[in-house]
Amino acid sequence: MDHFQLVDGVLHAEQVPLTRIAEEVGTPVYVYSRATLERHARVFKDALAALPRTHVAFAIKANPNLAVLKVLASQGFGADVVSGGEIARALAAGMAPGDIVFSGVGKTRDELGYALDSGVGQFNIELEEEGAVLAELAAARGLTASAALRVNPDVDAGTHDKISTGKAENKFGVPIDRAAGIYARLAALPGLEMRGVAVHIGSQLADLAPLESAFGKLGGLIADLRGAGLTVSHADLGGGLGVPYKAGEVFPSPAEYGAMVARVTRGWDTVLMFEPGRVIAGNAGVLLTRTIRVKRSSNRDPFVIVDAAMNDLARPALYGAWHDFDAVRPSGRRMTANVVGPICETGDTFAMGRDIDALEAGELAVFRTAGAYGATMASSYNSRGFVAEVMVDGDKFAVVADRILPEEISAAERVPEWLA
Ligand SMILES: *Cc1c(COP(=O)(O)O)cnc(C)c1O
């Protein structure tokens, strides 16, 4: 459930008409609903309430906006981060360093050092060499880094290839059949406290079965490690729960997920860690856009050309992803159209031959479910600026990320003297 609803014929975010945001901030603009974020955070936590010891870390890469992180920090969420920049954001949002989990497939020495100096709570190690570097850096500082070994369970998550991470051919984690040896060798290093194991098999999962299979394999590994006399006090189950992008689609609920986790992890006697991203933020945001004009031809569907483009919302171009597209003031009339942005690429297409609310030049519309992997993937391609972000809270709203203008971006560029 989200808080983007029609009120008196106008789409609102909570109590704010989107027409007002468009007038005051301009378009395109991402609009987040605080109440929706809080609701999703609560539903997720409630789903885990029956589990004895849990830790929830929001996967910052889904939506790193500081205001969004602040809302989730106030809900007791820590952060799953994949770069030094994300560590800085989690800290800036007031998250406790000890609640930060540092994932990421290629952590540099600088990032590892920064994370150690910041007091990051857990390092999810992606390969043995990385663990050795971390141990060396920690020991040199007189510290002990708490770490989990990320394993690749070789499970097909059944999702889009580009967001599948748990198959043997993917770059993530160590092969599960080599994990016990690596864990034992790392556990012997000074500077490192190996405390657990981690999996994350992919994103936008529509089915719990692959997760259940991966968790089952992780349980087997935990038993093997303990059998070898090693300590395992933490199990990180990653993120990946999918969300409906099309009205009427049904996905496993957090409650069903929580029940599955409780069943599979019974008797593990570990802290269970979670890294949800999309399921928290996805339906808490929309991308508000204005129709520039409608291009009609006699024998084809018209093109509805909007002012948002693939540089603002990359998912359709990247993954062929679907976003529901609705008018802000629907007239009741419908049209079949192709919805495209103004960028000079055919890939700048949001929908083909889709039945949508009829739109004319100047009218507003939204791409729904744009709160995760939306603004954060923006670029300045075609010398477009970076899109602005707004958060709504009841009857008020605030700009939570300024629009960055093309001239501000080009101000960082230099023409060398020898070209002047
Ligand atoms: C991306 C990612 C997540 C979050 O995935 P969602 O599908 O957004 O829940 C969690 N953990 C790790 C390690 C990730 O890379």
Q: Which residue has the tokens 């018209």?
A: 302
CATH code for the domain of 59: 3.20.20.10
Which pLDDT score, from 0 to 100, does residue 163 have? 80
Q: How far is the CA of 202 from the centre of ligand 1 (A)?
A: 7
Give the pLDDT score at 166: 84
Residue at a domain's end among 216, 245, 280 = 280
Question: Same structural domain for residues 207 and 303?
Answer: no
Record the tokens describing residue 249, joined without a space. 């689609």
Tokens representing 163 are 């967001």
C-alpha dihedral sign at 110, 55, 272, 253: negative
Q: From the CA of 261, how far away is ligand 1's center (Å)?
A: 17
| pLDDT over 70, % of the chain | 100
Return the number of other C-beta atoms located less than 10 Å from residue 396's C-beta: 11
61 ligand 1 Cβ < 6 A = yes
| 272 plus 307 within the same structural domain | no
| Ligand 1 proximity of 86 Cβ (cutoff 6 Å) | no
- Name the pTM for this structure: 0.97
Do 25 and 56 have their domain in common? no
Q: d(Cα 403, Cα 384) in Å, to the nearest integer? A: 10
Q: Is residue 63 part of a domain?
A: yes
- pLDDT of amino acid 103: 97
Number of structural domains found in the chain: 2
In a shared domain, residues 231 and 106: yes
**What gap in Å lies between CA 254 and CA 239, rounded to an integer?**
11
pLDDT at 1 over 80: no
Structure-block tokens of residue 354? 């889709």
- In a shared domain, residues 82 and 53: yes
Six-digit token string for 420: 């002047």
278 pocket-lining for ligand 1 (C-beta < 6 Å): yes
pLDDT of res. 370: 98
Say how many Å lie between the CA of residue 394 and the centre of ligand 1. 29
Residue to substitute in 72, 275, 280, 283 for testing ligand 1 pocket (most ligand atoms within 8 angstroms of CB): 275
Q: Among the atoms of ligand 1, which is closest to the Cα of residue 373?
A: 8
Q: How many CB atoms lie within 10 A of CB 216?
A: 13
Q: Distance (Å, rounded) from C-alpha 413 to C-alpha 398?
A: 30
Indicate whether 23 and 52 sit together in one domain.
no
In angstroms, the CA 392 to CA 395 distance is 7
205 assigned to some structural domain: yes
Structural domain includes residue 104: yes
Least Cα distance to 82 among 109, 103, 98, 68 occurs for 103
Judge if 297 and 256 occupy the same domain.
no
pLDDT (tens digit, 9 = 90+) per residue, 137-180? 999 999 999 999 999 999 988 888 888 888 888 889 999 999 99
Q: How far is the CA of 35 from the centre of ligand 1 (A)?
A: 22
Which residues are annotated as catalytic? Answer: 344
Residues 27 and 121 in one domain: no
Cβ(203) to ligand 1 under 6 A? Answer: yes
| CATH code for the domain of 337 | 2.40.37.10
| Same-domain status, 73 and 191 | yes
270 shares its domain with 310: no
3-state class percentages of the chain: helix first, strand second, coil last, to nearest 5 = 35, 30, 40
- The SS3 call for residue 180 is helix
Does 388 fall in a domain? yes
Where helices occur in 356-413 by DSSP H, the ranges are 406-410
Written as six digits, the tokens of 93 are: 């949002």
Give me the helix-helix angle, 34-47 and 254-264, nearest 10°: 30
Q: Is the pLDDT of residue 273 over 80?
A: yes
Same domain (yes/no): 247, 345: no
Domain extent at residue 347: 4-32+283-410
Could you say which of 233, 260, 280 is where a domain stops?
A: 280
Q: Is the CB of 62 under 6 A from ligand 1?
A: yes
Domain limit, last residue, from 261, 280, 299: 280
Let me know: does 59 contact 236? Beta carbons within 8 Å: no
Q: Does residue 420 belong to any structural domain of this protein?
A: no
Q: First-to-last CA distance in the chain?
A: 57
pLDDT mean over 55-75: 98
Let me know if residue 242 belongs to a domain: yes
Sheet holding 16-17, edge to edge: 4-7, 10-13, 16-17
In a domain, residue 416? The reply is: no
Q: What is the pLDDT of residues 291-322, one digit of tens each?
A: 999 999 888 999 999 999 999 999 999 999 99
User: Quick one: 200 and 309 in the same domain?
Assistant: no
Instruction: Kindly state whether residue 363 falls inside one of the protein's structural domains.
Output: yes
DSSP bridge pairs for 193: 146
